[in-house]
């Protein structure tokens, strides 16, 4: 008999005890004592949420791949200027940048929000630094820049939705 | 705790209101996005301002332009701070902490300032074959030492601490954890210094200042450390600038 009472007061979705006559589970929000319709709405929302999470994860992954691309571009750009112009300063700077992007890409597996946001801010800063040196440079490869920035922004937003207090 | 939607009493650790089913406690996505947009806006405004300042400096250098640019920079910071005034002003209280900490904040940066100064000089001359003297920017102005002192050691500690450890720190804390907040404020603080070399030491410097801001809930320790550090760097630059002049 005692067993039966206890089973009645547990949420059927997450097994959290439900406080007496309340309609919703305080842990997962399931309308345990609601109508059948309310319960099916809950399930539908849950599926939608799951899809959203999946999409967010894909966007975070694209953001991470973007970082690998930027790291590669930085490295080859540095290497080419070094081979053509014997410019070792640019080479060192580009290598450092490539390493920073790789570190951020690795970090984005654990803390996607912080890592992708850092990468976005760094990327924007580098564009600004080029503008300081040569204002017209902002138009060089502008499509690539916009694509990279939009991938990173999508990644940051998805990470923000997904892991609020990471 | 009261439910934000139906105002009935709910348990502190509840994720959902058991009476109306509304999600509680966790921040709604759209609110977090608003906080996020403010952070990005602040960053972009700072960057655009810095780029314009650099381009103006390239055209013309004068004391008037310096004063104008420093004033605009301060106004930008104060403008953003005014959006979160109540939470920032709270950080100007003196916490009841061990007086030795204040003493440490004065003495330790003297040593680290010297180490960083010679370290950066070494890296700069080894890798980039160039040297930069901060005092040289002001040397031609009338009362040069006063203006250098004002714009190198007084205004940066006040307004950078206010902007990065005050406003930005509070904003980031709304959307992410304290640890990530400290790391990100340090990273942004290093980025806006516009130098790849400075990333090497300004980032750890920012981590320390962010940690102190979090631990003691005050801006004063950061302001003191920042002030002493900049004072050391400027003094050394002033010292070496005079000797190079004498050699000529």
A45 with A90, same domain: the answer is: no
Contacts with B20 from chain A: Cβ below 8 Å:
23-24
Question: pLDDT, tens digit, for every residue of A30-60?
Answer: 888 888 888 888 888 888 888 888 888 899 9
Q: Which of B55, B128, B187 sits opposite A135 (nearest CB)?
A: B55
Domain boundaries, chain B: 29-247
User: Does A106 reside within a domain?
Assistant: yes
> Which residue segment(s) compose the domain that A84 sits in?
65-162
A16 shares its domain with A70: no
User: Same domain, yes or no, for A19 and A74?
Assistant: no
A35 and A70 in a single domain? The answer is no
Nearest to A160 among B33, B51, B183 (CB): B33
Task: Give yes or no: residues A80 and A157 share one domain.
Answer: yes
The helix/strand/coil state of A30 is: coil
Q: Which residue has the higher pLDDT, B182 or A5?
A: B182
Residue of A nearest to B18 (CA): A24
pLDDT band of A166, cuts 50, 70, 90: very low
Chain B hits for A96, CB-CB cut-off 8 Å, are: 196
pLDDT digits 0-9 by tens, A90-102: 888 899 899 999 9
Residue A60 located in a structural domain: no
Pair (A39, A112) in one structural domain: no
Predicted local confidence at residue B29, as pLDDT: 60
pTM: 0.81
DSSP output for A115-153: HHHHHHHHHHHHHHHHHHH-GGGGGTTHHHHHHHHHHHH
Same domain, A84 and A136: yes
Strand partners, B2: B9
Whether A108 and A140 share a structural domain:
yes
Assess whether A91 and A157 both reside in one domain.
yes
Write the pLDDT tens digit of every residue in A120-130: 999 999 999 88
The full length of chain B comes to 248
- Number of domains observed in the structure of chain A: 2
A26 interaction partners in chain B (CB closer than 8 Å): 10-11, 14-18
Do A128 and A48 lie in one domain? The reply is no
Q: What is the mean pLDDT of each run of 10 residues along chain B (248 residues)?
A: 77 78 65 85 94 89 90 94 89 82 87 88 75 78 87 91 94 90 93 79 91 91 92 88 60
* Burial call A59-86: b when 16+ CB within 10 Å, e when fewer: bbeebbebbeebbebbbeebeebbeeee
In a domain, residue A124? The reply is yes
Partner-chain contact B18 A23, CB within 8 Å: yes
A with B: how many residue pairs have Cβ under 8 Å apart?
A: 97
Q: Which of B21, B23, B188 is opposite residue A23, by nearest beta carbon? A: B21
A77, A140: one domain: yes
């Amino acid at each position: 008999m005692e067993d039966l009472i206890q089973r009645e007061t547990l949420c059927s979705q997450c097994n959290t005890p439900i406080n007496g006559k309340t309609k919703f589970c305080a842990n997962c929000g399931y309308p345990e004592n609601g109508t059948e319709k309310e319960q099916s709405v809950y399930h539908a929302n849950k599926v939608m949420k799951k899809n959203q999470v999946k999409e967010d994860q894909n966007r975070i992954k694209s953001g991470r791949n973007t970082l690998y691309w930027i790291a590669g571009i930085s490295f080859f750009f540095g290497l080419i200027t070094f081979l053509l112009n014997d410019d070792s300063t640019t080479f060192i700077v580009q290598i450092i940048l490539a390493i920073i992007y790789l570190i951020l890409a690795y970090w984005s597996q654990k803390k996607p929000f912080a890592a992708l946001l850092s990468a976005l801010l760094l990327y924007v800063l580098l564009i600004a630094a080029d503008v300081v040196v040569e204002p017209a440079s902002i138009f060089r490869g502008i499509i690539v820049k916009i694509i990279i920035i939009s991938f990173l922004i999508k990644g940051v937003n998805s990470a923000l939705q997904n892991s609020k207090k990471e | 705790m009261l439910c934000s939607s139906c105002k009935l009493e709910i348990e502190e650790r509840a994720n959902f209101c058991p009476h109306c089913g509304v999600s509680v406690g966790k921040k709604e996505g759209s609110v977090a996005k608003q906080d996020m947009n403010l952070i990005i806006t602040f960053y972009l405004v700072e960057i655009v301002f810095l780029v314009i300042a650099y381009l103006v400096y390239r055209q013309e250098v004068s004391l008037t332009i310096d004063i104008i640019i420093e004033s605009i920079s301060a106004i930008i910071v104060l403008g953003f701070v005014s959006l979160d005034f109540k939470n920032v002003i709270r950080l100007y209280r003196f916490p009841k902490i061990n007086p030795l900490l204040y003493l440490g904040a004065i003495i330790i940066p003297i040593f680290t300032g010297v180490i960083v100064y010679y370290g950066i000089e070494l890296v700069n001359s080894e890798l980039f074959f160039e040297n930069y003297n901060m005092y040289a920017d002001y040397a031609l102005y009338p009362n040069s030492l006063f203006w250098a002192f004002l714009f190198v050691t007084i205004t940066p500690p006040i307004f950078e601490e206010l902007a990065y450890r005050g406003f930005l720190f509070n904003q980031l804390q709304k959307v992410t954890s304290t640890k990530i907040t400290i790391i990100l404020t340090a990273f942004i603080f290093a980025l806006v210094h516009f130098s790849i070399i400075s990333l090497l030491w300004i980032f750890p410097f920012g981590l320390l200042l962010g940690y102190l801001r979090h631990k003691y809930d005050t801006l004063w320790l950061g302001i003191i450390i920042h002030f002493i550090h900049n004072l050391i760097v400027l003094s050394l630059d002033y010292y070496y600038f005079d000797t190079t002049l004498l050699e000529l």
